[in-house]
Amino acid sequence: MSGHETANILSLRNVTKSFGGLTVISDVSFDVPRGARMALIGPNGAGKTTVFNLISGFYQPSEGDILLEGKPIQQIPSRKRIGLGIARSFQNIRLMPHLSVIENVMLGQQANAGGLVDMLKPLSFFGHSAWRHEAEALLDEMELSSYPGEVVATLPYGVRKKIEVVRALAAKPRILLLDEPAAGLNGAETDNLTSFLKRLSATGITLLVVEHDMGLVRRLCDDAVVLNFGRKIYDGKTATVQDNPLVLEAYLGPRHAGTVKEGAADVA
């Protein structure tokens, strides 16, 4: 591989995904540069979550390659991909409802703790283990330290949403896929999240974010890929995404394209 290629941490090459006769993703290619903060946006049903599922290995692509630092990973089973540095959150929160906050985070560390010794070492039997201290520190950073012992099922939505991000981070990923991290958060919480993700990005983690809140996307992400009906319709700077006629058409329908410009942000 040439040095030029591996400047991109993650690449999709002509990826197509069909279920039966239904093509959900068709011939999508894009690159995520190392350290980038990239948004993956598009109207409902555009296939954004499917792309995440393909990258994290929950689905196999019907055609095309998914490359991590230039190497195809589509043959690697889903459970091993997090060990390669790909962690994700989920659109509808998928925390373990009967585990406590801290346990969910410690579960996120699994990718770095699969050995027999790690599996059989108590996490908190007599005093707290190093794993637990690390998880507590992560929770501290997200200002969630008042919750460690609480069972997740009883917590408010916004808190659970944040915990999911922390759980993904616990795997020490190189690239973090966030599926609507700000959904259900209020304005202050969204601002908090944005600055947290910026700090995170400064430490070198690449972010790929699916998000409907265009405010967050504009403040956080420099680059954006727009999908519509499973096809890529835009790949470039976030700043200029609203000037693209295809994007406007996708969001507002053909009649409004070009007439209502500012509205795109709200609808998105």
> Does 100 participate in binding another protein (rule CB under 8 A)?
yes
Backbone angles phi, psi at 178, to 5 degrees: -115, 120
Is 19 an interacting residue with respect to another protein (CB under 8 A)?
no
Element (H, E) at 237: strand 231-237
> What is the chain's length?
268
- Per-residue contact track with another protein, 103 to 142, x per CB under 8 A? x--xxx-xx-xx---xxxxxxxx-----x-----------
Q: How far is CA 74 from the centre of its chain?
A: 18
Q: Of the two residues 123 and 265, which places its CB atom closer to another protein in the complex? A: 123
Strands 223-228, 231-237: parallel, antiparallel or unpaired by DSSP?
Answer: antiparallel
Instruction: Pick the closer one to another protein by CB: 57 or 61.
Output: 57
Cβ at position 168, least distance to another protein in Å: 9
Using CB under 8 A, which of the segments 24-32, 52-60, 205-213, 226-234 binds another protein? 52-60
Site size for another protein (CB under 8 A) = 43
Question: Which of 72, 23, 88, 86 has its CA nearest to residue 227?
Answer: 23
Q: Which of 171, 193, 252, 268 binds another protein (CB under 8 A)?
A: 171
Main-chain phi, psi angles of 172, to 5 degrees: 50, 60
Which tokens belong to 27? 């011939």
CB of 65 to another protein, least distance (A): 20
Gap between the Cα atoms of 42 and 152, Å rounded: 31
Binding residues for another protein, rule: CB under 8 A, are 56-58, 78-83, 88, 90, 94, 96-100, 103, 106-108, 110-111, 113-114, 118-125, 131, 146-147, 149-151, 153-154, 167, 171
